[in-house]
Structure 1
Amino acid sequence: MCLPHAVQDGIKGTLPLYRGTLDAARSIVRQEGYQALYAGLAPAVLGAGVAWGVYFFTYNRAKERYRAWQGSSGKLPAHLHLASAAEAGTLVCFVTNPLWVAKTRLQLQQRQVLAASSAATAAAAAAPYRGLVDCLVKIGRQEGIRGLYKGLVPSLFLVSHGAIQFAVIRSRLQQRVDPSRSVRYVGVAHALRLTLRREGLAGLYRGLAPNVLRVMPQSAITFVVYESIMKWLQPPPRQGSSRPS
């Protein structure tokens, strides 16, 4: 639900305008039903599973490599933990970016159809995607590899989890080209300049509230499940010995 709000840039087109998170939720449910709140669920679930799997595997392998490089099996210093996390996050971006592009397109396409103001506008709109596989195939066929990797650069900035909120920028770059819009985002720098000029700093934080509400429980559940599975996979201590602290 954070995505429709995040791409609201005020530029005339087929996407409806929302006054905030609650207004977006009410409008989507009223116009499309509760199932519309779960648009793009398949790539989101697949992307999250692949992302966390690749992340934890790469992160742990990177830490092992740095320990070997140090010639020590002890704890790594903070900067090597950060380097390991950056390596893992970068690989995740390259592996999962096509799935996030598909998620963005699938979440926005129904709203574009519903918001078409005339028969001419509706006719000009591209045929909707029939699902995740159809979406990926059509993007690859029509836009090439560059289409599947739209928004990659701001995703790489997000690896550092800095104070600047680039997720808005990423969503705007990944949305499907709308012929009825007077403005198109052609790159990270262009999208950033245009957003700041038209909407100010607040434009970079559109969709922040629902995004926080989504990320907090998602991260908590992920780490609880991860730690539980890791404990379950550990072999039991031998009789007469104690597990090292």
Structure 2
Amino acid sequence: QITSGSRLPPGSSPPAQRGVGPGPAAALQAPAASRRGAGKDGSAARGLSAGGLSPSRCWRLGGFQIQRGKTDPTGYKSLGDCFRTIFQREGLFGFYKGIFPPILAETPKRAVKFFTFEQYKKLLGYASLPPGLAFAVAGLGSGLTEAVVVNPFEVVKVTLQANRNAFTEQPSSFVQARQIIKTDGLGFQGLNKGLTATLGRHGVFNMVYFGFYFNVKNILPVNKDPNLEFLRKFGIGLVSGTIASIINIPFDVAKSRIQGPQPVPGEIKYRTCFKTMATVYKEEGFLALYKGLVPKIMRLGPGGAVMLLVYEYVYAWLQDTVHHK
């Protein structure tokens, strides 16, 4: 039995409970048997399974997180005002602007999230970190890796969402990407603009998301009733996604300001992550750093719970399949 304060010796891998998902040690170091037939540890398959649900479940809410300052005459006053304005000006398809980049990125992005989380956990199993801390550190590492993969897609997505023309009048994702590369290149002013803010957004989110979920799940007793056990995990996942969203949203605001349209055309006001946060705080107040929190929680609270549940149950299914061979 490995407790939160004990070490994981190299190669140790106590088995997880069947049908429940990995225990503390098993989640930190996946059993060797589960690595066969699904990547080295099945994490890629679990990530693809969890990621496959993401575009359809969350996209429509993602568009309401475009951040604009108080001085922007096209800024939205509230979530309801955003719904009404987009529908009146851009029609129903306005809610789906920029949907193609995340469709391309979402599944591999989630695969990267969960696969690298497993790999970082495996590496940390050889360190002297307690499992509770190792979950958070592995989550941080997976978030930073995920951010590098997803940032170019985010730049294209935000640019398309910020376009106030009708859906049929705006350029395609590929045309927009080519235009960004042609005008500003591949660097930090072009397709990788706002990378630092994206690193902060994903790194902080995954650190809290994975760290909270696995630590709390391993503290609360397992329920023998499968339905109640499902609700237990879903509830922990919901809280994990919600707390992570609340903590990381200042990075999200900074990312949107940097990648989105600048207040004055031709002048770059929002350039770096922390300077953007400071500017927003100084000019608009503390609550401005939490703009878009409601749609973000609506998207990543239940969405985060679903992804973790898919991840957990695919993990358990892979273990059962390997053990029965």
State the distance in 1 between where 2:75 and 2:263 align: 15
Which residue of the partner structure matches residue 42 of structure 1? Answer: 100
Could you tell me how far apart the structure 1 residues matched to 2:100 and 2:313 are? 25
Partners of 1:80 and 1:5 lie apart in 2 by 31
Aligned to 1:228: 313
Instruction: List gaps (5 residues or longer) in structure 2.
Output: 1-60, 206-243
Aligned-partner Cα distance in 2 for 1:90–1:219: 18
Q: What's the CA shift for 1:212?
A: 1.0
Corresponding residue for residue 184 of structure 2: 143
Mapped to 1, the partners of 2:106 and 2:159 lie a distance apart of 17
Letter in 2 for 1:18: Y
Shift of 1:105: 0.7
Q: Distance in 2 between matches of 1:85 and 1:169?
A: 21
Residues 115-155 of structure 1 show CA distances to partners (whole Å, capped at 9, x for unaligned) of xxxxxxxxxxxxx8622222222212211122122222122
Structure 1 residue 93 corresponds to structure 2 residue 147: yes
Instruction: Report deviation, 1:84.
Output: 1.3
Tell me by how many angstroms 1:8 deviates. Answer: 2.2
Quote the residue 1:123 is aligned against.
none
Picking from 156, 161, 175, the partner of 1:134 is 175
SS at match of 2:204: coil
User: CA, structure 1 residues 2+66, in 2 after alignment: closer, same or farther (shift >3 Å)?
Assistant: closer
Residues of 2 paired with 1:39 and 1:190: CA distance? 29
Q: What percentage of residue pairs aligned between the two structures are identical?
A: 25
Tell me the CA shift for residue 6 of structure 1.
4.2
Which amino acid is the alignment partner of residue 179 of structure 2?
K
1:53 aligns with 2:111: yes
In 2, the alpha carbon distance for the partners of 1:5 and 1:227 equals 29
| 2:215 matched residue in structure 1 | none
Secondary structure (helix, strand or coil) at the match of 1:60 reads helix
In the alignment, residue 85 of structure 2 is paired with which amino acid? S
**Residue 204 of structure 1: aligned partner:** 289
User: Using a 3 Å threshold, how does the CA distance of structure 1 residues 12 and 23 change in structure 2: closer, same or farther?
Assistant: closer
- Cross-structure match for 1:160: 204
Aligned equivalents of 2:84, 2:180: Cα separation in 1: 30
Q: Which runs of 4+ in 1 moved over 4 A?
A: 1-6, 176-179
What is the letter of the counterpart of residue 200 of structure 2? Answer: F
**Helix, strand or coil: the match of 1:148?**
coil
Q: Distance in 2 between matches of 1:86 and 1:201?
A: 25
Deviates most, 143-152 or 2-11: 2-11
| Count of residues paired in the alignment | 218
Q: CA deviation at 1:213?
A: 0.9
* Aligned mates of 2:156, 2:204 — CA distance in 1: 23
Alpha-carbon distance between aligned partners in 2 of 1:99 and 1:173, rounded to the nearest angstrom: 14
Per the normalisation by structure 2, the TM-score is: 0.60
> 1:124: which partner in 2?
none
Greater Cα offset, 52-61 or 176-185 = 176-185
Question: Is 1:190 aligned with 2:298?
Answer: no
Residues 194 and 215 of structure 1: CA distance in aligned 2, closer, same or farther (over 3 Å): same
The Cα shift of 1:182 comes to 6.6
Does the 8 Å CA contact 1:154/1:169 hold for their aligned counterparts?
yes
Q: Which amino acid aligns with 1:101?
A: V
- Alpha-carbon RMSD across the aligned residues, in angstroms, is 2.7
C-alpha displacement of 1:236 = 5.4
1:56-67 equivalent positions in 2, closer than 5 A = 56-67=114-125
Instruction: Provide the rounded CA distance (Å) in 1 between the counterparts of 2:253 and 2:63.
Output: 8
Closer, same or farther: CA 192–237 of 1 in aligned 2, 3 Å: closer
Q: Relative to structure 1, is the Cα distance of residues 4 and 219 closer, same or farther in structure 2, using a 3 angstrom cutoff?
A: closer
Q: 1:12 to 1:69 in 2, by over 3 A?
A: closer
Q: TM-score, normalised by structure 1?
A: 0.77
Give the deviation of 1:94 after TM superposition. 0.8
Structure 1 residues 19, 62: CA separation in 2 closer, same or farther (over 3 Å shift)? same
CA shift for structure 1 position 33: 1.3
